[in-house]
Amino acid sequence: MSQSLSFHVTRSDHPRSAAERAKILEKPGFGLHFTDHMVAVRWDKDTGWHDAAVMPYGPIALDPAAAVLHYGQEIFEGIKAYRHADGSVWTFRPEANGRRLQRSAARLALPELPVEIFVESLKQMIAVDKDWVSDADEASLYFRPFMIGDEAFLGVRGAHKASYYVIASPAGPYFAKGVAPVAIWLSTDYARAAKGGTGAAKCGGNYAASLLPQQQAQAQGCSQVLFLDPVEGKYLEELGGMNVFLVYGKRNTLVTPALSGSILEGITRESILQLARDRGMTVEERKVSIDEWKQGVASGDITEVFACGTAAVITPIGQLKGEGFTVGNLDAPAGEVTMSLRKELTDIQYGRLPDRHGWLVRL
């Protein structure tokens, strides 16, 4: 469905001063600060999408009976804006995020937002908050588009009213130590998704299910949790908020778990597969058992492992830990393939390399 809406813009009376903004942009962290505006678009069953607006950033009023508060009817996206050397601001494959939001919506019985409105909502945010896109190295503005069912009704069915919002947060590295290798924890007690469940949707509930295992990972000194397939508990799926890749250096091969229906179809994942093919690597999307990882590292066949996602970009994984075992060495430097794929991807995103696949969209 192709549809456009015109956005009604109300500018904030109290935007942060240039000095306040500069102070935040100096050390933004991840997800800590928000820009001066947000987007809201309403939907109801009779009217469809309507009332598109840009407004000052602030609390949203919800009826206490709103569906999202009781049955978790929420989906979201994560996508960044990058400032290029000439000052222009670009984003990466927004139609792919827009289509994924539609698939998530379908799974959660929420309305599908037309992709045109999704892309336009990001453009509207930049029209008012462009100054929040820092030109510092590796800095970006992280958009968090999300949708909630907000009909006030306690019966269990898809809400007849929903709202789509976009907020934006200036972002530095997702992990406190930047691009340094991280340790991850193998969760064998918990799965993040079930067969036939919502694993392939980007919905809040999946993240809620990952928080306890994530706490366990942190208690073990690890920064992310790795989940196995929910049926056999044997094959790698993904991390709490990232996809995972193994590099078989000697045979110039990149391996990542196949999309199983319970893994998020990462846009970074798909882009890395393309970049790897372009440089003549063999890419394999298939089942990867946890034993293959352990044995591959021990035998030297697996030379590098990394995580990827919009927030994490490409982050080297130095060590895998689990109940009674440790694989890899956290002190080893990040792998060459990992870092060169990372450089190529970010060079495209920041306009330092030609955009040969047409992935960039100017905001």
| Binding flag, residue 267, ligand PLP (CB under 6 A) | yes
> What is the number of other CB atoms lying within 10 angstroms of the CB of residue 222?
22
The listed partner (ligand COI, ligand PLP, none) that binds 228, CB under 5 to 8 Å by sort, is none
DSSP 8-class letter at 140: E
| Window 73-102: contact mask with ligand PLP (x via CB under 6 A) | -----x------------------------
Contact segment (CB under 6 A) with ligand COI among 32-40, 247-255, 291-299, 306-314 equals 306-314
Cα 250 to the center of its chain, rounded Å:
31
Q: How far is the CB of 217 from ligand PLP (least distance, A)?
A: 14
Give which of 115, 42, 128 is closest to 81, Cα–Cα.
128
Residue 240: which of 143, 312, 166 has the closest Cα?
Answer: 312
Residue 187 within binding range of ligand COI, rule CB under 6 A: no
Q: Is 264 in the site for ligand PLP (CB under 6 A)?
A: yes
Q: Spell 231-256 as b/e; 16+ CB within 10 A means b.
A: eeeebbbbbbbbbbbbbbeeeebbbb
Distance CA 168, CA 193 (A): 28
Read off the DSSP letter of residue 67: H
Residue 238 binding partner per list ligand COI, ligand PLP, none, with a CB distance cut-off of 5 to 8 Å that depends on partner kind: ligand PLP
Q: 215-254: which residues touch ligand COI (CB under 6 A)?
A: 241
CB under 6 A: which stretch of 59-67, 176-184, 267-275, 338-346 binds ligand PLP?
267-275
Find which of ligand COI, ligand PLP, none residue 191 binds, CB within 5 to 8 Å per kind.
none
Query: Closest approach of Cβ 14 to ligand COI, in Å?
Result: 28
Window contacting ligand PLP (CB under 6 A); options: 1-9, 49-57, 175-183, 259-267: 259-267
Q: Is 198 in the site for ligand PLP (CB under 6 A)?
A: no
- Which lies closer to ligand PLP via its Cβ, residue 22 or residue 194? 194
Site for ligand PLP in 293-332 (CB under 6 A): 309-310
Q: Does 111 bind ligand COI (CB under 6 A)?
A: no
Q: How far apart are CA 245 and CA 226, in angstroms?
A: 12
Which residue lies nearer to ligand COI by CB, 110 or 302? 110
Which letter, b or e, does each residue of 172-204 get, where b requires 16 or more Cβ atoms within 10 Å of its Cβ?
bbbbeeebebbbbbbbeeebbbeeebbbbbbbb
Helix 94-107 to helix 267-278 angle (10° resolution) is 140
- Interface residue with ligand PLP among 73, 121, 223, 268 (CB under 6 A) is 268
Residue 179 and residue 164 in contact, taking contact as beta carbons nearer than 8 Å: no
Q: How far apart are CA 51 and CA 54, in angstroms?
A: 10
26, amino acid identity:
E
Kindly state whether residue 310 participates in binding ligand COI, applying the rule CB under 6 A.
yes
Q: Which residue is nearest to ligand COI (CB)?
A: 78
Q: Interface with ligand COI includes 78 (CB under 6 A)?
A: yes
Q: How far is the CB of 142 from ligand COI (least distance, A)?
A: 7
- Under the criterion CB under 6 A, does residue 309 sit at the interface with ligand COI? yes
Tell me how far, at minimum, the Cβ of 178 lies from ligand COI, in Å: 16
Of 113, 133, 236, 311, the residue at the interface with ligand COI (CB under 6 A) is 311
Sort strands 79-83 and 140-149 into parallel, antiparallel or unpaired: antiparallel
Contact region for ligand PLP (CB under 6 A) — 7-15, 55-63, 154-162, 265-273?
A: 265-273
Alpha helices in 57-200 (DSSP H): 67-71, 94-107, 115-129
266 Cβ contact partners less than 8 Å away, ≥ 6 residues apart = 238, 242, 243, 308, 309
Assign residue 160 a region (left: φ > 0; alpha: ψ between -120 and 50; beta: otherwise). alpha
Supply the Cα-derived Rg of the chain in whole angstroms.
Answer: 21
Binding site for ligand COI (CB under 6 A): 78, 241, 309-311
Binding site for ligand PLP (CB under 6 A): 78, 238, 241-243, 264, 266-269, 309-310
